[in-house]
Chains A and B, each alone.
Chain A
Amino acid sequence: METRRIDHVVVVTPDAEGAAATFRRHFELAPSAPVVGSPALRIGGARIAFAHPADGSALAAILARSGEGMAEICLEVGSLPEAEASLRTAGIGFTVEAKGAARALAVDPGAAHGVRLTLIEGRAA
């Protein structure tokens, strides 16, 4: 698998706009295009997204269990079909999810050492 870069990390919070404002003020980061409707800030070639997750979602469960904090990392791969094949070959579970208009592979956190990890091909703003 060719994994190219960190596209974004997701901070779960009950107050997405407030959390984005906190990070903008503390770290002087510039706003970027939203990530799947969530406010986001740019740092280098990556983004930090602040998500108030929908009830019943995996991120909502993380917020309820652990409180505000970093909950997901999204990596860009060269080819999603190749990534899918690599995961299948390695016997790693995943689900196919929509990330905005694009497809994403959500890797089984058990295989990713407790990390909620999504893989995308190119930008999925």
Chain B
Amino acid sequence: MLSKIHHVGVVVRDLEQAYGFWRDVLGLPVMVVKTVVDQDVTAALLKVGESEIELLQPLSDRSGIGKFLAKRGEGLHHLCFETDDVDAELAATKAKGIRVIDEKPRLGLAGMICFLHPAATRGVLVEYAQPLAEERH
């Protein structure tokens, strides 16, 4: 079952510069900053109520995030729903015939995650996330 918006992903050119608005002006606290090497991205989660804003800075123009930045510039990237069972959620999604990107959940910044294909969801890139027990905020 999907319980809430876990985060909204935003692609930025420079994380430190982005803090100047999202952290310093809006007042959102930075909860986690991590580099995900296999995705060539450094990401920060900033808390806003029960949800978070995920700022994504690509580390190369070859990564998915880097290509997005080169093609579309900074901006909204994806919408992540939280679930307490990402395996079951993904299986149920596939059983409905909904096209997915990840056939199996994988480890990401928000825990165990998977992405659905935006062609199936009205152009919205949707992610499911099951936070790891020690990383629930």
Which residues of chain B (17-50) have a CB below 8 Å from chain A? Answer: 18, 21-22, 24-28, 48-50
Q: Which chain B residue lies CB-closest to A26?
A: B98
- The docked-state distance in angstroms from the alpha carbon of A86 to that of B51 is 22
- The docked-state distance in angstroms from the alpha carbon of A9 to that of B125 is 13
Interface check A92, CB cutoff 8 A: yes
Are the C-beta atoms of B2 and A69 separated by less than 8 Å?
A: no
Are the C-beta atoms of A29 and B48 separated by less than 8 Å?
A: no
Q: Which of B48, B79, B125 contacts A5 (CB 8 A)?
A: B48
Chain B residues contacting A114 (CB-CB under 8 Å) are 10-11, 73-76
- The docked-state distance in angstroms from the alpha carbon of A23 to that of B81 is 12
Q: Which chain B residue lies CB-closest to A87?
A: B25
Which residues of chain B (77-132) have a CB below 8 Å from chain A? Answer: 78-79, 81-82, 93, 96, 98, 118, 120-126
The number of chain B residues touching the other chain, given as a range, is 35 or more
Are the C-beta atoms of A46 and B122 separated by less than 8 Å?
A: no
Q: Which chain A residue lies CB-closest to B5?
A: A46
Chain A residues contacting B98 (CB-CB under 8 Å) are 26
Number of interface residues of A (CB under 8 A): 44
Which of B5, B13, B118: most chain A CB closer than 10 A? B5
Given A45-B4, A46-B5, A69-B124, check contact A90 B76 (CB 8 Å). Answer: no
Are the C-beta atoms of B51 and A46 separated by less than 8 Å?
A: yes
Interface check B65, CB cutoff 8 A: no
Are the C-beta atoms of B122 and A111 separated by less than 8 Å?
A: no
B10 to chain A, nearest CB (A): 6
Q: Which of A19, A26, A92, A113 contacts B75 (CB 8 A)?
A: A113
Are the C-beta atoms of B27 and A44 separated by less than 8 Å?
A: no
Are the C-beta atoms of B122 and A43 separated by less than 8 Å?
A: no
Are the C-beta atoms of B27 and A43 separated by less than 8 Å?
A: no
Q: Which chain B residue lies CB-closest to A44?
A: B4
- The docked-state distance in angstroms from the alpha carbon of A78 to that of B38 is 39
Q: Which chain A residue lies CB-closest to B77?
A: A70
- The docked-state distance in angstroms from the alpha carbon of A4 to that of B51 is 10
Given A9-B5, A44-B50, A70-B124, check contact A2 B74 (CB 8 Å). Answer: no
For the complex with contacts A3-B48, A114-B76, 10 further pairs of A-B residues with Cβ separation under 8 Å are A1-B27, A2-B27, A13-B122, A25-B96, A28-B2, A44-B4, A68-B123, A112-B21, A114-B11, A114-B74
Q: What 7 A-B pairs come out closest when comparing CB atoms? A: A44-B4, A5-B49, A114-B75, A114-B74, A69-B123, A68-B123, A113-B74
